[in-house]
Structure 1
């Protein structure tokens, strides 16, 4: 299991580093959008399975992960295609910002109407059917919107900073926040944070995670030659850390509601994709907000 986990991490890390730092400039954005789209497709599929299996009564017996069905992959695709439509709009309407949202909004409403028709057409319980439709809509906000922020963030650049500095900044800040929370919590954790959702998380671990996020942001701001004042970098790091921890707790709540240990097994040795990006889901929009305000 450990070898598989390390091998998977090495492969995905290598791909991400290549795209961010070494890919040819004309291919950077298409490759980055492709990676983001794939991640949203797989994690969106897991999200749909987590939520729908609960409503279908598939959680009477505790299971290690939800069973993935064709309809879950279809929902995951609807989230992923929004990223493609948004990226295409960014390219086509680069000089006309007012039209950038035409394609993604059109796709979103098409998915709403199609989902409503398919769900209600064969529904025997209107309450369950309505909850399913609301969960489909929620996925666009929970997954597709942050992914769109990420693709937009990839296009930002500050004079004098290193290539993809803003992306490394965000990924490392959230990753170090998770790491700090784990080690501080394991060593000093005494007061439970929200035991009903995640019994192992502690107040001390959460505070340690925020400290690590703030320090990491400060150091990376200097290392990557970003233009932020020290206080602003620390503020970004702490706010990203808070958002990342909330995102982690939200995904844990989804799993606990269904009695699942992992969101899936699509990532060998690591469980599900949603398990790996849960902190980024809320952390990235926060980073995009701070970067855009300063830009």
Structure 2
């Protein structure tokens, strides 16, 4: 049976995978280490692609690890129940994934040298991708239509709350040396240079042939084939089927798909709200505008 969200400090989260007590405990007591690498995103912003790229950088492009180990084990979500417990006992260096807004992130991070890669994406595409994903799940109340989800998204009544507030919160960290801001659009447009930026940030060096392997093995087509039936948490009863789940997680892998779904009125309303909420940020931070 579908469950409603649990609200944590004004942020709605699906309690099946993200128990509120784990989120609060993580926020207050999780000890971040200086060697930790966090990949932080608002849901449906390219999280799994970023995980794949970082794992392949660390393996010098060799896909053996990414083919054989589920992404939930390679880079566990810190706010998930079992993952949080596993991470506490895991030897470093730790790769860690999170959708948490900055105010719920582990307090210990802010006095550490741990690194955060924060990946943002055109919120219009995030909205469309999120609708298709959450509409097919059975562990939260499903949106009945894109129109309904559109309104909920603008009001922040979707998993992990308002996109605008999530981005605003994490953008406050962008001047830190241990924070790298990337956009899905730039990653898509020039993957090679984006990978080089990630390598520089992480202190990794790739030979030309290793870079080519990272590019090849992090491509949409290769990832989709490698990932099928590998990620155990996707096989639970909380999704309609494994095939549908993979379609939803790696649905198209493109930019601008929102144009096929928004009405003219929705596009105008979204643009107006975006301009109002993000007016105090430099436009160059958002390459889709």
| TM-score normalised to structure 1 length | 0.28
Q: Name which one, 1 or 2, has greater alpha-carbon Rg.
A: 1
TM-score by length of 2: 0.28
User: Structure with the greater relative contact order (CA < 8 A, sep ≥ 6): 1 or 2?
Assistant: 2
- Structure with more strand by fraction: 2
